[in-house]
Amino acid sequence: MTSVYTLTWGIVGTGWISERFYKDLLIDPNTRDVSDVAHKPVAVASRSIEKAADFIKKFTESDEVAATVKPYGSYSELMADPAVDCVYVGTPHDSHYEYTLMALRAGKHVLCEKPFTINAAQAIHLKAVAAEKKRFLMEAVWTRFFPLTIAMEKMIHEDQIIGPIRRVFTDLAQITPKDPSHRLNNPAAGGGALLDLGVYSTTWMLSTCYHHPKNEMEKPTSIKANMIKSEMTGVDESTVVTMTWPKVGILGVSSCSLMVSSPYESVIRVQGDKGDMIVPIHSSRPEKLVVHLYTSKPYEYEEKVFEFPIPGWGLFWEADAVARDIRDGKLENERYSLDESILAMSIFDEARQQNDLVYPASIEAVEA
């Protein structure tokens, strides 16, 4: 019988996504057929100790388990706790760089929520610090660890069931409250569609094109972006980025919006010579894959539907990957490397630059 490796976690921030991540850590891995790794949250930090204690009480079903999770009233205290192996950063965009740096310097491994940073320069710096400290670091792009995503990559790249791919359309659009103080509308919090929802459109583009075996990790060329900016705050409300992948002859279109919702039936669309593959809503949390295999008659096809149930919220698959990497002494994940996060951030930099979307200097800064 193989032994189980248990990773201990410290959760930083007690908001929407931290709640889901924490609850997923508490789900028995056997319910998703995982028996080699397990998770143990040992600490939760908030800017208020009461909030951290409430979080633990509210989201831990067993009182016995809750008693083993320590609340902290500051993030730095959690990072100094020797019981914490890996810090999960679940705070707003503009603080990812600061808290990830803080955790790495405290000697912790880090899983940081998306977007990794505000710009590529900050991401490059984090990669260097993680290497210097010999600590594992990954951006929490959970979608990349879903069984559907892994199966779809195999169908496209290995089994080539839709033949050579020619065009890829990726989207994530979600209606956001028109409140100027909402973090997604606030430039000082790195707001806008691109850095929030565009992460998903971009990650699907990278999984299908950047990871195409014949692409050999070439970066995209001819990146062209258009944005509609908010009259309220100036952040991007809707963005479309087109790019080409010359080595594999693919044209890519990635879009995101805070103003409308993605079309329900087709959010990700990959088109090849022999058919196409479609992921309906949600492209961040995918559970259904529709494959159309073309017949000899135009517009006629055979349809195959694949369902991938999610036994929880689905954040545990990335947590499992982190645990395996840390167990194996790796500093990065092979499916979602730091260079890929840097590439995504550099695409966002380019899109922002082409459209004069500038954030306050304080959140764009890189430590000397």
Q: How many residues bind ligand NAP (CB under 6 A)?
A: 20
Cα-based distances in Å from 134 to 284, 332, 333? 30, 10, 14
Asked whether position 186 contacts ligand NAP by CB under 6 A, the answer is: no
φ/ψ of residue 52, rounded to 5: -65, -45
Residues 6+ apart with CB under 8 A from 20: 313, 315
Contact pick of 23, 51, 182, 229 for ligand NAP (by CB under 6 A): 51
Q: Does 70 bind ligand NAP (CB under 6 A)?
A: no
What is the DSSP pairing of strand 86-89 with strand 5-12? Answer: parallel
Distances (CA, A) of 204 to 41, 118, 211, 266: 30, 20, 10, 13
- Catalytic residue (choose from 70, 108, 114, 127): 114
Q: Hey, is 333 helix, strand or coil?
A: coil
CA atoms within 13 A on the CB side of 342: 14
Q: Which stretch binds ligand NAP (CB under 6 A): 88-96, 225-233, 236-244, 274-282?
A: 88-96
Rule CB under 6 A: is residue 142 a binding residue for ligand NAP?
yes
214 counts as catalytic: no
Residues 6+ apart with CB under 8 A from 33: none
Nearer to ligand NAP, 108 or 212 (CB): 108
Residue 347: Cβ-neighbour burial (10 angstroms; 0-12, 13-18, 19+): buried
Q: Does 236 bind ligand NAP (CB under 6 A)?
A: no
In the complex with ligand NAP, the residue whose CB is nearer, 17 or 27, is 17
Residue 73: CB minimum distance to ligand NAP, A: 9
Contact between 230 and ligand NAP per CB under 6 A: no
Pick one of 95, 176, 208, 333: the residue that binds ligand NAP (CB under 6 A). 95
Q: Does 92 bind ligand NAP (CB under 6 A)?
A: yes
- Give the shortest CB-142-to-ligand NAP separation in angstroms: 5
Comparison of 250 and 268: residue with beta carbon closer to ligand NAP:
268
Is residue 114 close enough to count as binding ligand NAP by CB under 6 A? yes
Contact by Cβ (8 Å): 18, 88: yes
Q: Is 299 helix (H, G, I), strand (E, B) or coil?
A: coil
> Using the rule CB under 6 A, which residue among 10, 29, 71, 90 binds ligand NAP?
90
Catalytic positions are 114
